[in-house]
Amino acid sequence: MMMKQLRSSCSADHPLARRAQLRLRLLLQRRTVCASPNKTASLSPVLAASQQGRITSVFLNMTRDFSATATVSSSTASSAVPFHLGTSQSSSSLNAAHYALGGAALAAGLAVVTAMLSDAIHADEAPVRPYHPEGERYGDDYSGRVRAMREVIDPRLLLTSEAELRAALSLLAGWKPGRNYSDAENDAFWQAKQLVKSMVHPVTQEVMFLPGRMSAFVPVNAPTAMGMLLHGPTGPAAAAFWQFMNQTGNAMTNYVNRSGATVDTSALFMSFASACTVSVTVALGMGRLVARNPALKNLGLFVPYVSVCMASMANLFLTRFEEWTNGVPVYDQDGQQLGVSAKAGFEGVWQTVTTRGWVTPLPILVLPPVLIMAVRRVVANKTVLLATEISMIIGCMYYFLPFTLALQPQRMTLKPEDLEERFQGLKTKSGEPITQIFANKGL
């Protein structure tokens, strides 16, 4: 009768179930300590083990009722799982699992929600900056670039229609220099510029291919990142497949967001093939090294990062071959084109390599593996573990990506003496010497 009451009450919530387990353990101890010698002797080892097995079964049934998250059966109790009910260590492991799961879910949720609402929160802190076609809404400092990049990668921009794009272009065309606009009008200009910037290439003035836009970076690359981290380490074929998929996405993004107007299709194909070869070779080589050395087992999660870094260098330099050989357009502070500079093109490609190639993969392919290794130590349920890992990957990608992309401004500021000789000693239309030259770095 007491067992039935305990089971019915413990199925309500977690604290009651833990209290019931404690009472039953105390009851076992009392029976063992307080039993008379005759009664103790009358219990054979087989009968005692059977009685203890029935009580253990009660423990498992109650746990199955109140905790769907950590489902424990008699088979799991006998296997090497970090949850062993009936011991003092089991409670701490179970609590650690709950805390880790809740913390990971909370962190991922807060990351996405904070990123989505940060612009709305900061919008009321200061008056709207007066709009200028060559200016930046949040300034040129790092914090301003982070906020700008947060808007650039906003997936909601993918829902923009062509009619909305035409309306934004028409609004920007009506801007008049020297005229005083209200905060509402300036805000409308900045929003229109953001919309146009997310869809239209700054050099070619053509609408960019939708999957290659930066606003599509997270939804397009999240499945690939999950594949490389979760499925890639399972075997050579899986590693090669996801590296191929990753380099396909990188080549598309590099081409769509290039800084120049033209591109050699043969060079583009060569860069894609080279990047795939490098990434797959590195991934398979490091995978074999990890497989041969059990001490390096945990390092298998970091294989995708090393492969991506080396392949990204080859991909960027070859995809944007025309930029650092033939050059990119450069402009003065008034937006007047001064010519084409190969040195400016090389600087743009190099800055992109350091940010997109080396730093950007850090929050995507390094931080999630660290969190995944920690969570795998305490979470045994495969469904919960997979959901937690996916949440951490997407959360890290969406929240930290703007911090890496903002390390270098998209619009490079160069000194004339750092470029070709023909760009030195130039003057503006008003006769003032040109001390700064600008070029589009690309993303």
- Listed ranges 4-18, 22-36, 166-180, 403-417; the one with the highest mean pLDDT: 166-180
Check residue 18 and give its pLDDT.
55
Check residue 50 and give its pLDDT.
42
User: Among the three residues 145, 164, 199, which one is the final residue of a domain in this structure?
Assistant: 199
- Under a CB-based contact definition with an 8 Å cutoff, are residues 220 and 256 in contact? no
Check residue 181 and give its pLDDT.
94
Which residue is associated with the tokens 């209200």? 182
Check residue 296 and give its pLDDT.
66
Q: Is residue 105 part of a domain?
A: no
Residue 199 predicted with pLDDT over 90:
yes
Do 59 and 142 lie in one domain? The reply is no
**CA–CA dist 411, 406 (Å, integer):** 11
Q: Which residues contact 439 (CB under 8 A, 6 or more apart)?
A: 259, 328, 329, 330, 331, 341, 344, 345, 347, 348, 411, 412, 414
Categorize the per-residue pLDDT at 375 as very low, low, confident or very high, splitting at 50, 70 and 90: confident
pLDDT, tens digit, 9 for 90 and up, residues 258-309: 766 676 677 778 778 887 888 888 878 877 877 787 766 666 667 778 777 8
User: Among the three residues 66, 85, 113, which one is the final residue of a domain in this structure?
Assistant: 66
Burial of residue 394 (number of CB atoms within 10 Å: 0-12, 13-18, 19+) = buried
CA nearest to 203, candidates 16, 386, 443 = 443
Check residue 47 and give its pLDDT.
37
Residue 201 predicted with pLDDT over 60:
yes
Check residue 261 and give its pLDDT.
67
Q: How far is CA 350 from CA 19, 66, 102, 252, 310, in A?
A: 62, 56, 41, 18, 14
> Kindly report the CA angle at 235 between 229 and 239, in degrees rounded to 5?
50
- Higher pLDDT among residues 143 and 22, named by residue: 143
Do 235 and 180 lie in one domain? The reply is no
Do 361 and 304 lie in one domain? The reply is yes
Mean predicted lDDT score pLDDT of the chain: 73
- Higher pLDDT among residues 433 and 83, named by residue: 433
Q: Is residue 20 part of a domain?
A: yes
CA nearest to 352, candidates 326, 324, 394 = 324
Categorize the per-residue pLDDT at 125 as very low, low, confident or very high, splitting at 50, 70 and 90: low
Joined tokens for residue 64: 């199955």
Amino acid present at 21: Q
Residue 4 predicted with pLDDT over 60:
no
Do 195 and 215 lie in one domain? The reply is no
Which residues sit opposite 323 in a β-bridge?
none
- Under a CB-based contact definition with an 8 Å cutoff, are residues 368 and 229 in contact? yes
Q: Is residue 314 part of a domain?
A: yes
Which residues sit opposite 184 in a β-bridge?
none
pLDDT, tens digit, 9 for 90 and up, residues 153-186: 999 999 999 999 999 999 999 999 989 999 999 9
Do 192 and 225 lie in one domain? The reply is no
> Kindly report the CA angle at 393 between 198 and 212, in degrees rounded to 5?
25
Global pTM exceeds 0.85: no
How many CB atoms are closer than 10 A to CB 122?
A: 13
Check residue 82 and give its pLDDT.
36
pLDDT, tens digit, 9 for 90 and up, residues 247-261: 888 888 878 887 666
3-state secondary structure the chain: CHHHHHHHHHCCCHHHHHHHHHHHHHHHHHHHHHCCHHHHHHCCHHHHHHHHHHHHHHHHHHHHHHCCCCCCCHHHHHCCCCCCCCCHHHHHHHHHHHHHHHHHHHHHHHHHHHHHHHHHHHCCCCCCCCCCCCCCCCCCCHHHHHHHHHHHCCHHHHHCCHHHHHHHHHHHHCCCCCCCCCHHHHHHHHHHHHHHHHHECCCCCCECCHHHCHHHHHHHHHHHHHHHHHHHHHCHHHHHHHHHHHHHHHHHHHHHCCCCCCCCHHHHHHHHHHHHHHHHHHHHHHHHHHHHCHHHHHHHHHHHHHHHHHHHHHHHHHHCHHHHHCCEEEECCCCCEEEEEHHHHHHHHHHHHHHHHHHCCHHHHHHHHHHHHHHHCCCCCHHHHHHHHHHHHHHHHHHHHHHHHCCCCCEEEECHHHCCHHHCCCECCCCCECCCEEEECCC
Check residue 23 and give its pLDDT.
52
End-to-end CA, the chain: 70
User: Among the three residues 166, 199, 232, which one is the final residue of a domain in this structure?
Assistant: 199
What's the rounded mean pLDDT across residues 104-115? 50
pLDDT, tens digit, 9 for 90 and up, residues 48-98: 444 444 434 443 443 344 333 333 333 333 333 333 333 344 455 545 544
Do 433 and 392 lie in one domain? The reply is yes
- Under a CB-based contact definition with an 8 Å cutoff, are residues 441 and 352 in contact? yes
Check residue 379 and give its pLDDT.
84
Q: Is residue 90 part of a domain?
A: no
Do 322 and 257 lie in one domain? The reply is yes
Q: Is residue 303 part of a domain?
A: yes
Q: 61 is in which domain, residue-wise?
A: 1-66
Do 294 and 406 lie in one domain? The reply is yes
Do 346 and 371 lie in one domain? The reply is yes
Do 176 and 288 lie in one domain? The reply is no
Joined tokens for residue 227: 């594949």
What's the rounded mean pLDDT across residues 350-368? 83
Domain count, the chain: 3
Among 91-95, 208-212, 240-244, 417-421, where is mean pLDDT lowest? 91-95
Do 349 and 308 lie in one domain? The reply is yes
Residue 344 predicted with pLDDT over 80:
yes
pLDDT, tens digit, 9 for 90 and up, residues 97-108: 444 544 554 455
**CA–CA dist 401, 317 (Å, integer):** 22
Residue 17 predicted with pLDDT over 60:
no
Do 247 and 324 lie in one domain? The reply is yes
